[in-house]
Amino acid sequence: MSQVDPRPPGADPARTRTLSESDSKELLARFGIPFAPEHLVTDAAGARAAADALGVPVAAKLCGTNIAHKSERGLVRLGLSGSDAVAAATDELLAAARPDDGATGVLIAPMLRGHRELIAGIATDEQFGPTVLLGIGGVLAEAVADVTVRLVPISRIDAEEMIDDLRSQALLGEFRG
């Protein structure tokens, strides 16, 4: 039996990498997935300009190619309501960057109301090939460990079924409290 390479044609494992939050959103936006407007900045002046453009309050998050769990490292500032606060938070976050974080910047985004977070990802399984993952995200991602996986490509129906497959999918809808 011949070995089938599960990677898409032209995929070079030496060139694959995890994307930063900003790069991930940019890639997904090319495929029609909407996101709230945000600005990736590299200094306090850029953060002030971003907050002025977006309006306050805003959130600031250190973004880097090797940063996965920002909140665990204290790399998120929420509810920043003035340009001085945004600039100070940006300086603090940039100072907290480590060499192994990769190229870093600070994402400035509007504060949005909502209490539901999902995690989504794509990986290549050695046996089955490219897969897509969906699960409960945010600070609950590891605690709840509720994910579902499908082989790529997926259809809209597959995506809807993935949501239905989540054991804790009731958390995504309306509930008391």
Q: Which domains does the chain have, with CATH numbers?
A: 21-110 (3.30.1490.20), 116-172 (no CATH)
Per-residue tokens: 91: 């300086």
Q: Determine the 3-state secondary structure of 162 from DSSP.
A: helix
pTM for this model (two decimals): 0.72
Binning pLDDT at 50, 70 and 90, where does residue 9 land? low
* Edge-to-edge strand list for the sheet holding 39-41: 39-41, 104-110, 58-64, 76-80
Q: What is the pLDDT of residue 15?
A: 61
What CA–CA distance (Å, rounded) separates 152 from 122? 9
> How large is the average pLDDT for residues 138-150?
84
Q: Give the tens place of pLDDT for each residue, 78-135.
A: 999 999 999 999 999 999 999 999 999 999 999 987 777 888 888 888 888 899 999 9
Confirm if 128 and 151 have CB atoms less than 8 A apart.
Answer: yes
Q: What is the pLDDT of residue 98?
A: 96
Share of the chain above pLDDT 70, in %: 88
Per-residue tokens: 46: 């850029």
Share of the chain above pLDDT 90, in %: 53
